[in-house]
Amino acid sequence: MTEPLLHITEEPLWEAARGKGRYEMSTRGRTLGEEGFIHCSLPHQLAGVAQMLYGADDQGLVVLVIDPGRLTDPVRYEAVKPGGEKFPHLYGPLPVDAVVEVRPWQREEGETQ
């Protein structure tokens, strides 16, 4: 497996996806259909993404650990703004069998709310 991709989400959304066989939320409050892709992170990007999207409202979140080798749709690394850091974006639904681990989200010690 190459470096895993990560996606942070609300646990009930993930549980609902497991029943359908695919996950189709892009980011907080936005679907794959609305956004065109699913926002992902590399491990070193996750804390910043969690802070930006959820702030102090981070109870009940889980981190989906994705094996990119199990994806059937393309992943593109794109910057939010020109010259900025690139983030992985999955251009299609996330098959539940590509998720190799689900971790409860825990803020790193010393992170601010």
Three-state DSSP state, 44: helix
Query: What residues contact 82, with CB distance under 8 A and at least 6 apart?
Result: none
**Beta pairing class for 75-79 and 38-39:** unpaired
Put simply, whether the predicted model's pTM sits higher than 0.85 gets the answer: yes
30 φ, ψ to 5°? Answer: -130, 130
Domains belonging to the chain, first-starting first, are 5-104 (3.20.170.20)
Q: What is the pLDDT of residues 42-89, one digit of tens each?
A: 999 999 988 888 887 778 899 999 999 999 999 999 998 899 999 999
Confidence check: pLDDT of 97 > 90: yes
Q: Give the helix/strand (H/E) hosting 79.
A: strand 75-79
DSSP tag of 42: -
